[in-house]
A = this chain, B = another copy of it.
C-alpha cells in the first residue's frame, strides 16, 4: 500500500477527505523525503508546483497530517520542522546537527530502552516517545576546524 492510500485511509478513519490540495501537498512532501521542512518552506514548495493552493491550506493540512501521523514534527532547530513520517515507524532515528554547516543527519539506534524502564521505575513516568539530538561537527566541518 502506497503513501497516498495510507493517507486516504487515515483521513477517512477520521471522517476527513482526501482533496486535490491534500494530495498535492503530500506529493511535495514525498518529493522532499528526508528533508526537514518548516511549514513555511513546505508552503513555498507547494506554491511553486501548484500555485493555486493557498498558504492557509498548507498550514491547515500540515496540522491535520501531523495529527494523523502522516508527517512527524521535530524541533531540532529554531523552528518547528516536518518530514514525511517513516511508514515503518518501528526503528526510530535520532539526529546529528552540525553546528558549523547546519546539516542534519540521521542515525538509527534503540539504545534508550533501558533508560525508559528506569524512568518508569524511578519516576513513575510512562514514556511514549522521545527525541534525541546530538550537536557537534560533522566529518567535513571537523576537518576544516582541525578538530
Contact = CB atoms under 8 A, between A and B. Distances in A.
Interface in A87-145: 96, 98-99, 105, 107, 109, 111-112, 115-116, 119, 123-139, 142
A109 B99 contact: no
Contact of A99 (B77, B107, B124, B128): B128
A128 B124 contact: no
B139 A134 contact: no
A94 B124 CA distance: 16
Interface size class of A (residues with CB under 8 A): 35 or more
A80 interface: yes
Nearest to A125: B96
Contact of A132 (B76, B105, B130): B130
A1 interface: no
B124 A96 contact: no
A125 B145 CA distance: 13
A55 to B, nearest CB: 20
Contacts of A138: 123-125
A78 interface: yes
A63 to B, nearest CB: 12
A136 B105 CA distance: 25
Contacts of A116: 134
A56 interface: no
A9 interface: no
A136 B126 contact: yes
